[in-house]
Structure 1
């Protein structure tokens, strides 16, 4: 198709809004300098290739019975595509063609030399992959009457280097649900009690330090105006030596004593503090033995994991492996006599975006995913601050599906495809997560997998899935 008239020129102008283009040199002489090609440009847009050049024939001498034919073509080693030709004719040849309508080929555009100085050549052809590394050439012929060819010139104009169209993703971020912010601070204290007794002596051995650990944890929450303690739990453990029944009495009594001590310090409502106890901390003993270099480590572990009664199990270890038992009694058993505590508290909701931004940098543990997302919406998409917000969100909520999904999108936008893959493993199976996995597959050039997943998400109503499918179809042309 020859693009000469204004209507088609407007179409060509829209095609110029392409992703890929190659421009020629400033001016290229033809026919010993009588003709100059200027403003040469070849570009691709989707499935079309646009070719544009200005053919300056102001210096061309054409006698009345002669004509010059410019026949552009795209050529590669295995393909050739002839483009519409341009004929510059002298007076007699011009009228001869008008009377006889015998242009060769039919798409040739004819000009009378005295009426034209610059031919604005514009044409659009269907794009094919081989054109990426083709050449734009022109065969220029000078003909006389009786179709006699007097001279010819085959001239290369431009070597094309059109890269294949790249996949341009559209990332979809998910807004987390607004939920109450319930956090927990946990710790372990090793309170020393007199042998076989349950009362606490505050100044006994390590007790000043260990009791202060509990109080400091509670104070860290209690003294923060943004938080409210909603529960406090204490669980006491004893070590396996001596009869199980006695250890049960000690674990229960010592836990109750510790609860009463805390209650005296703060006067909490009775409903806030809960207690539990474990007569013998066999799980803690198992972990310690697993990480030890005991000579009979595996045999002792087998006994610990057996279904024997606690007293029989402890006696068997003591009798069978006395040296190892002695080491455990001295180095491990004291650590099994501990009290685990947890302070559960609620953080108030934040609505001021600037306050949320400050907390993201200083106390992100106070924020919910929803609050971080609200702040991100006020940041420039793709900025360092924006990306960092989603990075912090997934660090604070490492197992949350939405946090991992949004972090995967950030990683992909920065080229971190391996990181995105790890995040997507924990992003669940929502339509948005499947869409993100399709995006990752497309960025990895696995277009077949990407197409299947985008088709699935399109059926589930994802708004951008159809656009992504069209991109993949264009890339695979």
Structure 2
């Protein structure tokens, strides 16, 4: 029977949280799409080729890039590219001049289509990374509206896949070998779980009865026990990273996050009786991203925009 070796990692944190392709839209091509994860952000870049698009003077075309989750339960709609016919372009310009607002407000860019001439739009966007994006797809939605009398009436809506797998977190590296490798007998895999434990302020003590800690701790110990009781699996290491909220100094929070991670390791080791040599514990210090997510849960918070700005612009301590 083949053995599967598992390395289990837990993230201890606050309770927050190449080749060109064509789209299937009529006459719209998507070229050189690129998706790259940089830390906690995802950079998206592609080119919209409008050369074959023909618009009537009264028509307006909106192209919405959309990141759609694997099962469709989540999606992220990016700013649209608006392509106007000659007359519609003037209407939007007049609206902006007279009223200060226009139907094109919020667009990534607005292009006046010149039928029969080559036109391209370079599109770039930086998105906050979320785990569901790894299994999602990138699509392009087209909405066409027409004459002045029916302004705002949806005349046509289409959707075209651009990238079936939006983001690959794990990319295998292939190389050519001069000798045929032996058949693999052991597989090594990583399992990652997140335990959002609640600590009282400045405390390092784990209290199973405090808030939702009992359920979170059960997730940790249950995951380890599931591997221990499977004869085909072997645990080679448990890695725990702790975080702390940002109040206090950087040095203090670094130590506090390490102490809390140590506390979780000691608690789980006592329950699972796993060899102490398999535990690897580190502290990552302050969790600014987690703080931001927690603040966003309370939209009525006084001066929330100022609070988020302080969080986003904070550098260092």
More relative contact order in 1 or in 2 (CA 8 Å, sep 6+)?
A: 2
Q: Which has the higher helix share?
A: 1
TM-score w.r.t. the length of structure 2 is 0.45
